[in-house]
Amino acid sequence: MIKEIVSLIRVKDWIKNSFVFVALLFSKHLLDAGYFINVLEAFLIFSLASSFIYVINDILDIEFDKAHPIKKSRPLASGKISIVTAWIIAFVLILITIPLLINTNSAFIKIVSAYVLLNIVYSLLLKKIVILDLLSIAAGFTLRVVGGAAAISVAVSNWLLLTTLFISLFLAVMKRRSEIGLMEESNNSTRSVLQNYSIKFTDQIGTISAAGVIICYALYAVSDRTVQYFNTDSFIYTTVFVVFGIFRYMFLVHIRKQGENTVELLLKDFPMLINIFLYIISIVVLIYNSDLL
């Protein structure tokens, strides 16, 4: 039962909430224990909140998931966990989250509340509306970044927010593209909104989103504010990791026909893992070189 509960609340998807660390990393407070603990708490709160949303979404989609070639193995769809048990788990998640949330500042509380509300509306309505489903996913990731900044009361660059918006939009549309491919192979669609998408349409959105990621990040890297704040103009060299990451992901989706599960794709592709590792190391060295020496 423990294994099924872990699967139901999708603990492995908590990695998506690592976006809350973006503001901490670029605020020059990564090595400050107090700031780190606050963001770690924000990560936990977002993780519990997202797990609550996952459970609610699986309850609402149980009949659709039963017909899905992959999702039919989920705890609810497979019958390993009952709907009543799922509601109890969702209630427990809320009971754990609220006390943690109360101990944070008002700005963070508002952002988490907006995140939960957005995702509930997404589960009930927005995921059925073409384009709005993608924008809703992108907004969720952006709220994570803003939430991480609110947790430690720091500002986050608009260019970084735009980069987050485009990268989350890119990942969302790549997932839709993979779902369309799976739908065509099985001749069965369990997501009604897919009827409004096509391979060509998702490719066009994906290309625009990919370009948006690279352009916004490059502009952040060379902006006067960035150069002055970090006292270096070397951020531009980290753009190569962003470009490789985008192109590698497109390769995995277009050529390798992967992308149905974003987290698994990122964690199981060795070149992607190495690229992410090198990017983080490069950023840490550029920002915290004086503290590390």
The per-residue pLDDT for range 74-112, each reduced to its tens digit, is 888 888 989 999 999 999 999 999 999 999 999 999 999
138 burial via Cβ count (<10 Å: 0-12, 13-18, 19+): buried
- Report which of residues 195 and 187 the model is more confident about: 195
Could you report the per-residue pLDDT of 112-163, keeping only the tens digit for each? Answer: 999 999 999 999 999 889 999 999 999 999 999 999 999 999 999 999 999 9
pLDDT band, very low/low/confident/very high, at 292 (cuts 50, 70, 90): low
pLDDT mean over 43-52: 96
Q: In this prediction, what percent of the chain has a pLDDT beyond 70?
A: 96
Average per-residue pLDDT in the chain? 91
pLDDT at 265 > cutoff 70: yes
pLDDT score at 56: 93
CATH code that applies to domain 1-156:
1.10.357.140
pLDDT score at 247: 96
pTM tops 0.85, yes or no: yes
- Report which of residues 62 and 49 the model is more confident about: 49
Q: In this prediction, what percent of the chain has a pLDDT beyond 90?
A: 71
pLDDT score at 290: 63
pLDDT band, very low/low/confident/very high, at 272 (cuts 50, 70, 90): very high
